[in-house]
Amino acid sequence: MDKKYTSNVEDKRLNIEEQPTLGQHILPQQIWRDGALIPGSPDDANFKSPELVNGLVVQTSYFNDGQTANPLIQKISRLSLTKVKGTKNVYFNNELKNLIGREFDNDPTDKKKSWQYTIYSKDGELAYGLGDPLIDVATGHLFFRNADFVEAISPEETFYITFYKYVGRFGFMGSNDNEQDSYGGLDLPFRDDIKHFKDATNDNKTATIKLEGFEGNTIYVMPKPSEFYNDTNLVLDDDGKSTSLNKNFGVVMLQENYQEIDWNIGWHNGGAWLPDGTVRKN
């Protein structure tokens, strides 16, 4: 990307110097659930045609999760930034949150294939680093550390910015899903295919918790080791049929316990646990 109003010295600075940002004490790769899918250059992202969204010119890049297409990156062009009242050099727009920085650049020396944002005044594009800008991607603020520059170039209270932002899912990813995340095994929020437990001596013996509760704050209670259906929320009639007093209150149990309970209360005289999570009763 060629920069106007830029001297040769400033042009070379772009190849060796990264404009700092605030608000990323935790790496984006750790909190951006799909951050590992961000390519090393915007050129490698498949952006859709520009569209007008809430008055903004937006291009979106998607990724496929199975048969579902999820948004990953948005390019927002010429977003207006309004000066924060009571300040001389601080500008804000909520859309600046989760701006993608140059830490994702595949080649930090290639200025034409960079995630670098571009700032504009009413007179056009600013040279790289002009005004010594700094962006807080956690709060959506642009701060010019050279306050005199702001007073001289933009007394009309508004700047504009073209940039890329992350619009994917959020949550800490485990190392099996994101090579850039050192917090191995941590995956929040949980997916149903996550292996929650492993045998202490055999990694092939695993257990997965699958949640199929009703909408709302469902509570699952682990049964006591020596007891089964003795929770006050679950009532059994004379025929062994169970009734839940509160549908948002459930009991978690092992498959083996379920089969033993099923046997003890006389629902059937045998059967098999099926892959879809149901029991075939004989």
pLDDT in tens, 168-224: 988 665 545 445 444 444 555 666 667 777 777 777 788 777 776 667 777 777 766
Cis peptide before 189 (omega within 30 of 0): yes
Question: Whose structure tokens read 């952006």?
Answer: 47
Point out the least confidently predicted range of 52-66, 84-98, 263-277. 263-277
Q: What is the pLDDT of residue 189?
A: 62
Indicate if the pLDDT at residue 161 is higher than 50.
Answer: yes
Point out the least confidently predicted range of 64-68, 124-128, 133-137. 64-68
- CA count, 13 A, side-chain hemisphere, 249: 10
Q: What is the pLDDT of residue 108?
A: 82
Mean pLDDT of all residues in 235-258: 68
- Percent of the chain exceeding pLDDT 70 equals 59
Q: Is the pTM of this model over 0.75?
A: no
For residue 196 the two structure tokens come to 């929650």
Mean pLDDT of all residues in 231-242: 67
Q: What is the pLDDT of residue 260?
A: 63
More confident residue, 17 or 82: 82
Letter for the amino acid at 45?
Answer: A
- Contact in structure between 83 and 91 (CB atoms under 8 Å): yes
- C-alpha triplet 111, 165, 58: angle, nearest 5°: 100
Indicate if the pLDDT at residue 234 is higher than 90.
Answer: no
Indicate if the pLDDT at residue 247 is higher than 80.
Answer: no
Domain limits of the chain? 8-166, 211-281
Task: Give the containing element (helix H, strand E) for 271.
Answer: strand 271-273
Q: What is the pLDDT of residue 254?
A: 66
CB neighbours of 114 closer than 8 A, spacing ≥ 6? 1, 41, 42, 102, 105, 108
Indicate if the pLDDT at residue 43 is higher than 50.
Answer: yes
Mean pLDDT of all residues in 64-76: 88
Point out the least confidently predicted range of 62-71, 96-105, 129-138, 184-193. 184-193
Point out the least confidently predicted range of 37-46, 120-129, 270-279. 270-279
What mean pLDDT value characterizes the chain? 75
Indicate if the pLDDT at residue 84 is higher than 70.
Answer: yes
Q: What is the pLDDT of residue 206?
A: 80
